[in-house]
Structure 1
Amino acid sequence: MSNKSTHNRDVREFWYPKYNKNGYPHLQQAFILNPERNKEFSPFILMAEDWFKRGVFADHPHRGFQTVTYVVDGRLEHIDNAGGYSILDAGDVQYMNAGWAARHAEEAYDDDLIHTLQVWLNLPKSLKKTETSYQNIRVEDAPVVNIAGGSVRVYSGDIAGVTGPMKSLVPITMSEITLREGTEYTHVLPENHNAFIYMLAGEMEFGESHTKIGKTGAATLSFIEEGSELNPSELKIKASSRSKVLIYSGVPIREEIALGGPFVMNTQEEIKEAFRDLQRGVYGPPAVKNN
């Protein structure tokens, strides 16, 4: 029997984002995770929160990473140049592996005002040239674990005794936790996962320090990078009011990273190659809706 004690997670740092009011049609935007700090957040590169009308994220390319898009409100229309089309509603999530050459559009459907949270999730060098793929996780298909005073909805990973449906090339966990006021809950994650939280509603206390974080607050958590995927760690949570939080985690990718517009590669030369390939038509035709 192992005498190793379970790591009790705590808040490393927390902050509230600064929102930019951009005007019509991209009404409001913020980086919840700033891409300039991507090494701290690895395997996550950024998280963007956006409110927008139609015409903001029309046809565009990607290479070298994955996206995880959570619809907070409104309807999100997805179009890709492989013939894919779908409409996602509040609580739905879309996973995309951009891989070698994605070209798609993410638009507000009809006259909706759409509110989304999109995470960019890195790919290791060995997977940056994989085939492009998309997966829609409908809110009703993400298993829900009912707990005393609340619930845990699992989109990805093995959490609370269930497995989320997301098939990410770089395994992550993604959970939405809803608690009534006064409820206490212990969230279990692999000890070697780098994790962050984002508050959707209310106020909660986190970790050994009982750090209070309210709506729109984000935080990174302590972890044991040299630890094992098989060893659990625990994050203590208490709801100060009726609350909802998203928690993401994954194993850091310790490789060089180069960011360039819609591309995430390992070197600046690879970024230049991605732009040359776009000009050469490698990404295929534009992503437009077929009437």
Structure 2
Amino acid sequence: MDETHFKRDVKDSWYVKYNEMDFPAIQKGWVLPVDRWAEFDPFILMAEDWFKKGTFPDHPHRGFQTVTYVVDGRLEHIDNGGGRDILEPGDVQYMNAGWAARHAEDGVEDDIAHTLQLWLNLPKNKRNTDTIYQNVYSEKAPVVSFEGGSIKVFSGSIAGVEGPLESIVPFTLSEINLAEDAEFSHHIPENHNAFLYVLAGSISAGTSSTQLNKHGVATLTYNDKGNEHQSSELKIRSNQRQTKILVYSGAPIRENIVPYGPFVMNKMDEIKQAYLDFNQGKFGPPAE
């Protein structure tokens, strides 16, 4: 087993601010604002949305991956490759948009879907990969219990188990649940850029014991010259009952990107080409 050398701390923290939206969208907040993508690399943005059916109909993507965590309500996924499924609270969907994805994401019936969607970058040599969808149902993700809580692993090798999510660019995603006063040491590769989001309760995190409450976001220190096989430690303590947080981590790609509309490429000319390809029907038929 690898020894832990690097002790993580909170590098920056903030609280999500929300805006009311026009129906059928209800409310949106930016967990990770897109204008700071260079700090979040390999992550580009994360949006928190509340919405009803009709908010995200058929639309295209190219050049990146999405990781969607369903907080509440039901989310229906439809893609133009014939995929269709309904995700429940606690489920995760992974999409590699790659060369050309075309899909729809909607609330089901009268449900208000509450989701967290993360955009995860692709290196330029993988932007033309095939489109992939993978649903990871909550009950299929392994859970490791410890005194005062548990950790559920969706992606990556964490706490001695392997998450079922298989991404083009490896990353980790864990859901940590803690009772009041419980403590947990979260281990992730020392060279991974990482952030956490407090879904419920309150925590003290890192070597500085920085307090974060519900809707709090924190980026974490990391060893940018570190080894992916060497572990780092993030200490977390719960200050309230029923604390729940999500922790994401991934190795930086270190390429300049242009996020524009539904596409992420390396140059503006490539963005223009993506729009041209979509308008010429190269993304295939609508998702319906």
Question: Which range, TM-score by smaller chain?
Answer: over 0.9
Question: Map of 1:1-291 to 2, 5 A cutoff?
Answer: 6-242=5-241, 243-288=243-288
14-23 or 188-197: bigger deviation:
14-23
- Unaligned regions of 5+ residues in structure 2, if any? none
* Identical residues among aligned pairs (%): 59
Deviation (angstroms), 1:259 = 1.3
TM-score, structure 1 normalization: 0.97
- What are the superposed Cα offsets for residues 88-109 of structure 1, whole Å, 9 maximum, x if unpaired? 0000000000000000000001
Distance 2:212 2:116 in 1: 18
Distance 1:93 1:245 in 2: 15
Distance 2:144 2:215 in 1: 24
Deviation (angstroms), 1:23 = 3.3
Query: What is the identity, as a one-letter code, of the residue corresponding to 2:51?
Result: F
- What are the superposed Cα offsets for residues 14-63 of structure 1, whole Å, 9 maximum, x if unpaired? 00011001132111001100010000001000000000011110000000
Query: What is the identity, as a one-letter code, of the residue corresponding to 1:255?
Result: E
- What are the superposed Cα offsets for residues 197-234 of structure 1, whole Å, 9 maximum, x if unpaired? 00000000001100000000000000001110011110
- Closer, same or farther in 2 for the Cα pair 1:246/1:224, shift >3 Å? same
Distance 1:141 1:5 in 2: 29
Kept after mapping to 1: 8 A contact 2:154/2:165? yes
Distance 1:201 1:23 in 2: 26
SS in 1 for 2:56: coil
Distance 2:200 2:184 in 1: 16
Query: What is the identity, as a one-letter code, of the residue corresponding to 1:69?
Result: T
Deviation (angstroms), 1:111 = 1.2
TM-score, structure 2 normalization: 0.98
Kept after mapping to 1: 8 A contact 2:4/2:230? no
Query: What is the identity, as a one-letter code, of the residue corresponding to 1:270?
Result: E
Distance 2:32 2:20 in 1: 18
In the comparison of the two structures, how many residue pairs are matched?
Answer: 286
Query: What is the identity, as a one-letter code, of the residue corresponding to 2:175?
Result: E
Query: What is the identity, as a one-letter code, of the residue corresponding to 1:165?
Result: P
Query: What is the identity, as a one-letter code, of the residue corresponding to 2:174?
Result: S
Kept after mapping to 1: 8 A contact 2:4/2:233? no
Distance 1:81 1:237 in 2: 42
Distance 2:210 2:38 in 1: 24
Distance 2:258 2:95 in 1: 20
Distance 1:73 1:5 in 2: 36
Distance 1:162 1:150 in 2: 16
- Closer, same or farther in 2 for the Cα pair 1:264/1:148, shift >3 Å? same
Distance 2:149 2:256 in 1: 41
RMSD of aligned residue pairs (Cα, Å):
1.0
Distance 2:119 2:254 in 1: 16
Moved over 2 A (4+): none
Query: What is the identity, as a one-letter code, of the residue corresponding to 2:236?
Result: I
Deviation (angstroms), 1:5 = 6.6
Distance 1:5 1:18 in 2: 35
Distance 2:145 2:116 in 1: 24
Query: What is the identity, as a one-letter code, of the residue corresponding to 1:223?
Result: Y
Distance 2:23 2:274 in 1: 30
